[in-house]
Amino acid sequence: MPDIVVVGGGLTGLMTALTLSHSPYQVAHIQRHQPIDGGETIRTTTVSAAGKRMLETLGVWQRLATPPTPIQTLKVADGEATIGTRARRGKAFGLEWQDRDEPMAFVVPNATLLSALERQIQAAAVTPLIDRTVADFTIANNRANLSLIDDKGGTDEVTCDLVVGCDGRNSTLRKSAGIRQHALPHKQTAVVALISAERPHQNAAFQRFLGSGPIALMPMDNNLMSLVWTLPKQEALRYQACDVNAFDKACTKAFGDELGFLTLQSDRLVWPLQPTFIANPTADNLILAGDAAHVIHPLAGQGYNLALGDAAVLLDILCDTFARGLPAGHLSVLTDYRQKRRLEVGAMSLTTTGLDALFSRMPTGVSKIAGLGMNLLNRSPAKSAFSTIASGGTLAPANLFAGRLPQGYRHRK
Ligand SMILES: Cc1cc2nc3c(=O)[nH]c(=O)nc-3n(C[C@H](O)[C@H](O)[C@H](O)COP(=O)(O)OP(=O)(O)OC[C@H]3O[C@@H](n4cnc5c(N)ncnc54)[C@H](O)[C@@H]3O)c2cc1C
Residue range 270-305, pLDDT digits in tens: 999 999 999 999 999 999 999 999 999 988 788 999
Closest CA to 129 of 272, 296, 312, 7: 7
Q: Are residues 208 and 325 in the same domain?
A: no
Q: Are residues 201 and 116 in the same domain?
A: no
Q: Write down which residue in 273, 289, 315 finishes a domain.
A: 273
Task: Lowest mean pLDDT of 58-72, 308-322, 339-353, 360-374, name the range.
Answer: 360-374
Q: Whose CA is nearest to atom 15 of ligand 1?
A: 303
Predicted local distance difference test score (pLDDT) of residue 359: 67
pLDDT on residue 90: 40
Indicate whether 54 pLDDT > 80: yes
User: pLDDT at position 305, please?
Assistant: 95
| pLDDT (0 to 100) of residue 35 | 76
CA of 48, closest atom in ligand 1: 11
- The Cα–Cα gap between 292 and 169 comes to 5
Counted residue by residue, the chain has a size of 413
Query: Do 31 and 122 have their domain in common?
Result: yes
The mean predicted confidence, pLDDT, of the chain is 89
List, in sequence order, the alpha helices (H) in 293-330: 303-323
In terms of Cα–Cα distance, which of 215, 272, 241 is closest to 75? 215
Domain boundary among 273, 296, 330: 273
Q: Both 32 and 163 in a single domain?
A: yes
* The pLDDT of residue 96 is above 90: no
- Segments of 258-301 assigned E as strands: 262-264, 269-273, 276-277, 282-283, 286-288
Could you read off the pLDDT of 140-171 as tens digits, one per residue? 999 999 999 998 899 999 999 999 999 999 99
3-state helix, strand, coil in the chain (%, to 5): 40, 25, 35
> Is residue 158 domain-shared with residue 254, that is, in the same domain?
no
Same domain for 73 and 154, yes or no, is no
Q: Residue 40 C-alpha to ligand 1 middle, in angstroms?
A: 11
What total number of domains does the chain contain? 2
The residues, ordered by sequence, that sit 6+ positions from 56 with a Cβ below 8 Å of its Cβ are 62, 403
Reported pTM: 0.93
C-alpha separations of 376 from 208, 293, 372, 379, 405 in Å: 17, 34, 6, 5, 40
pLDDT band, residue 379 (cuts 50/70/90)? low
Are residue 121 and residue 168 in the same domain, yes or no? Answer: yes
Does 282 map to a domain?
yes
Average pLDDT over residues 208-230: 94
Q: Is the pLDDT of residue 269 over 90?
A: yes
Comparing 39 with 195, the larger pLDDT belongs to 195
Confidence at residue 364, expressed as pLDDT on a 0 to 100 scale: 56
Is there a domain that residue 330 lies in? Answer: yes
Please tell me the predicted confidence (pLDDT) of residue 87.
42
- Residue 150: CA count within 13 A, CB half-sphere: 8
Shared-domain flag, residues 218 and 341 = no
Nearest residue to 69 via CA among 219, 230, 204, 199: 219
Query: For residue 360, what pLDDT band results from cuts at 50, 70 and 90?
Result: low
pLDDT higher at 311 or 78:
311
How many Å lie between the centroid of ligand 1 and the Cα of residue 405? 25
**Which pLDDT does position 91 carry in this prediction?**
43
Percent of the chain at pLDDT > 70 equals: 88
231 residue type, one letter: L
Indicate if the pLDDT at residue 55 is higher than 70.
yes
| 306 Cα: distance to centroid of ligand 1 (angstroms) | 11
How far apart are the C-alpha atoms of 40 and 36, rounded to whole Å? 7
Q: How confident is the model at residue 31 (pLDDT cuts 50, 70, 90)?
A: very high
Distance (Å, whole) CA 349 – CA 27: 30
Burial label for 45, CB within 10 Å (0-12, 13-18, 19+), is: buried
Residue 412 lies in a domain: no
CA 320 to chain centre: 26
Same domain? For 114 and 96 the reply is: no
Q: Quick one: which atom of ligand 1 is closest to the CA of 167?
A: 34
pLDDT class of 351 with cuts at 50, 70, 90: confident
pLDDT at position 89 is 47
**How far is Cα 314 from Cα 326, in angstroms, rounded to an integer?**
15
**Domain termination residue (choose one: 215, 247, 273):** 273
Q: Examine residue 408 and state whether it is found in any structural domain, yes or no.
A: no
Supply the range of the domain harboring residue 293.
Answer: 4-63+110-184+275-369+383-400
Measured CA to CA, the distance from residue 52 to residue 44 in angstroms comes to 15
149/372: higher pLDDT: 149
pLDDT score, position 36: 73
Q: At what angle do helices 303-323 and 49-57 cross, to 10 degrees?
A: 50
Question: Is residue 405 one of the residues assigned to a domain?
Answer: no
Residue 411 lies in a domain: no
Q: Are residues 178 and 146 in the same domain?
A: yes
**Shared domain check, 292 and 265:** no
Ligand 1 neighbours, Cβ below 6 Å, are 7-13, 30, 32, 34, 45-46, 133-134, 166-169, 172, 190, 192, 228, 271, 290-291, 298, 301-305, 307
Band (33; pLDDT cuts 50, 70, 90): confident
Identify which of 29, 31, 36, 45 to mutate to test ligand 1's pocket (most ligand atoms within 8 A of the CB): 45
Say yes or no: 86 and 139 in one domain: no
- Using CA positions, which residue lies closest to atom 43 of ligand 1? 133
Asked whether residue 55 is assigned to any structural domain, the reply reads yes
Q: Are 206 and 254 contacting, i.e. CB atoms less than 8 angstroms apart?
A: no
Q: How many other C-beta atoms can be found within 10 angstroms of the C-beta atom of residue 196?
A: 17
pLDDT number for residue 348 = 87
Output the domain CATH number for residue 82.
Answer: 3.30.9.10
Judge contact between 81 and 22, C-beta under 8 A. Answer: no
Q: Is residue 370 predicted with pLDDT exceeding 80?
A: no
> Which atom of ligand 1 lies at the shortest distance from residue 290's CA?
26
Residue 413 forms part of a structural domain: no
Mean pLDDT of 201-221: 93
Q: How far is CA 21 from CA 55, 102, 128, 130, 148, in A?
A: 14, 29, 12, 17, 22
- Residue 353's domain is classified under what CATH number? 3.50.50.60
